[in-house]
Amino acid sequence: MSDPTPALADPAVDGAAPAAEPAPEAAVTEILARVQAPEGQGRAIRDAATGDVVGRAPEHTVDDLDAAIARAKAAQPAWDALGHEERSRLLLEAADRIDAAAEALARLLSREQGKPLNGPNARFEVGACSAWLRTAATTVLEPQVVVDDGEVHAELVYRAVGVVGAIGPWNWPMMIAVWQIAPALRMGNTVVVKPSEYTPLSVLALLDVLNQVLPADVLIGISGDREVGARLSSHPDIDKVMFTGSTATGRKIIESSAGNLARLTLELGGNDAGIVLPDADPQAIAEGLFWGAFINTGQTCAALKRLYVHDSIYEDVVSALGALAQQIPMGRGLDEQNVLGPLQNRQQFDIVSRLVEDAKARGGRVVAGGEPAPELGELFYRATIIADVEDGIALVDEEQFGPALPIIRYSDVDDAVASANRLDVGLGASVWSSDREQAREVAARIQAGTVWINSHGGVHPMIPFGGVKGSGYGLEFGVEGLKAVSVPQVING
């Protein structure tokens, strides 16, 4: 997986990737020593799989945040003045540093977040960080001539916004941080990053590697609580907020940013639907369906979370997915053979447990899983396939964000499309068929920011990505992603 971009475009990864040579544990210890709180201070961060203490996160305050924003604001004009070519050079050098530290970063990530090293997981995520950084560094955003009629010449250009506040999630903490950081830095902004309280150490470690190359105060990490996050989105010197997380928190950010009129990019919760048309081959699509739902043990905003299957092939699809769910290895992330890990935190474990128990009580048929796996650890939940459920139950209508996939039977494709569109979310969706043109016709009727054909959840650094409805607004990646962290300016004359 030396080049993660093709794998990211198709998360149906075959089992465990060849293991890289393990970095000495001393490399992880060295990074932690630079980023964690001094001995006896900070908040303990525990291994999601074992409960062991990974390290101690700094507990920055609102005052610390205010000081960081002031430093970032002071550093921004000089960073912007370097120009695109020099900023790109530094970002490419930073990507090289990520590659050099990749194994240590992946091992820290695996311990803190819980995801295994192999498969579409920790090594995959760290590889994606350098891939996205390189793409942002080399993507060209040309001025656009909007009028040139002999009398008027008008160009649309894009300038730096200023200081960007980046608030990240715990599910893909490093990769999503780079999604926010890379285009913002490329366009001449400085960035203040507030990682999730659940996974601060891996993000701070990533920033430490990047800051080996970047000028001082161009990129600053602040590890704090929700009060710090609220202050970041409302601070008068924050010009842009980028947030990935829940819809509920996204609404709070919209409210808190009203005072400073900060520009927003919000990638919020999803409850992605997949529709399997009657001409699909159950065996051919089973692995793609499985990884569309269970990548990162289901803890992905754009994962497949409710699957509608035509009655004529329903049992075949259910059976194929059940067989996969029972055979995919789950366990501690540092064990090389595993490709599914624990839920990252107790709150999410309880949500998955509640939704599955409710589905069982309402007549859902457990095809695989359906219960915790306490022999593996406190936060492990077996990969679960539940059939014979309907719209309206909690497991279908609520975002489970974990390893449990409900499968719903349908007989009319119009009903399946209506079901896919009935919820107030629209991050992603997918259509599965042997007839690509037919699939595209159905896809065009689905209300989602991205609709995949015969895959689900794959992202690419040059393909714009964003949601509709309650899944947020704004685009990331590629040229559109650069525009999103800029302010447009018209040069007329």
What are the C-alpha distances in Å from 256 to residues 175, 228, 232, 239?
26, 12, 9, 13
Reported in sequence order, the residue ranges of 268-383 that DSSP labels E, i.e. its strands, are 272-276, 304-310, 365-368
Q: Is residue 192 classed as helix, strand or coil in its secondary structure?
A: strand
Catalytic residues: 267, 301
Q: Helices 102-113 and 25-35 sit at what angle, rounded to 10 degrees? A: 70
Token pair for residue 370?
């359906």
Between β-strands 468-469 and 425-426, what pairing exists: parallel, antiparallel or unpaired? Answer: antiparallel
Q: Is residue 173 classed as helix, strand or coil in its secondary structure?
A: helix
Kindly tell me the burial class for residue 212, based on how many C-beta atoms sit within 10 Å of its own C-beta (0-12, 13-18, 19 or more): exposed
Q: Is residue 424 classed as helix, strand or coil in its secondary structure?
A: coil
What are the C-alpha distances in Å from 116 to residues 180, 297, 333, 337, 349?
24, 10, 3, 9, 17
Distance from C-alpha of 191 to C-alpha of 343, rounded to nearest angstrom: 29
User: Using CA atoms in the order 318, 322, 324, 329, what is the torsion angle rounded to 10 degrees?
Assistant: 160
User: Using CA atoms in the order 316, 321, 322, 328, what is the torsion angle rounded to 10 degrees?
Assistant: 150
The torsion angles phi and psi of 118, rounded to 5 degrees, stand at: -105, 175
Q: String of b and e for 425-451 (b: at least 16 CB within 10 Å)?
A: bbbbbbbbbeeeeebeebbebbbbbbb
Distance of CA 226 to the CA centre of its chain: 20
Q: Which of 379, 381, 386 is nearest to 364 (CA)?
A: 386
